[in-house]
Amino acid sequence: MNKKEDIEILYFKEKMNLTEISKSLNISIGYISQILKNNDKYFEEKERRKKDNLLERRKKQKEKIYSYRRNQKIDFEYINVQNSHKQASKEMSKSHRLGNQTLRKWCGSAYRYNKLKKRYEFDVGNLTKSNDLPQYIKI
């Protein structure tokens, strides 16, 4: 067989690209390109390979995107802690005044419920009360 037939067989039947053919036959890529351009099937094959490569590239990109999304781990516990921290910051900031429910929530162990008077009273026996805390909280 001559080189021209070898090149056409490797390109059309074996589906090798120009670089692979040049390495296997020890021929320059320019020479291979000149021979293939004389063949009528070359441009059709070249366009088909472009489309196939484009489809393959898009498929790989989708797989990469999907695998990235699958591997992303959402730490819901961290998000919950972050949200509660934001809420606590708002409640405890100086610009906002604490409501009765919030004050009971944050200082719940400091207040005892008095059933007769239907209110929460500061437990003086165990703790020392700061001046900014109320003596009792009405419900």
Q: Please report the pLDDT score of residue 20 as a whole number.
A: 93
3-state secondary structure of 113: strand
Residue keyed to tokens 């070359």: 42
Q: Please report the pLDDT score of residue 36 as a whole number.
A: 92
CB 36 within 8 A of CB 25: no
pLDDT tens-digit series, residues 78-96: 888 899 888 888 777 766 5
Strands laid side by side in the 111-114 sheet: 111-114, 119-122, 136-138
Tell me what the pLDDT averaged over the chain comes to: 83
**How many Å apart are CA 19 and CA 34, to the nearest integer?**
14
- Over residues 1-17, the mean pLDDT reads 88
pTM for this prediction: 0.46
Helix axes 18-25, 29-37, angle to 10 degrees: 120
Tokens (6 digits) for 118: 């239907």
pLDDT at residue 74 above 80?
no
Residue keyed to tokens 């037939």: 5
pLDDT at residue 62 above 70?
yes
pLDDT tens-digit series, residues 111-131: 778 888 888 887 777 677 777
Helix count and strand count (H, E) for the chain: 6, 3
Find all residues with CB under 8 Å of 138, minimum gap 6, and list them: 100, 118, 119
pLDDT tens-digit series, residues 22-55: 999 999 999 999 999 998 899 999 999 999 999 9
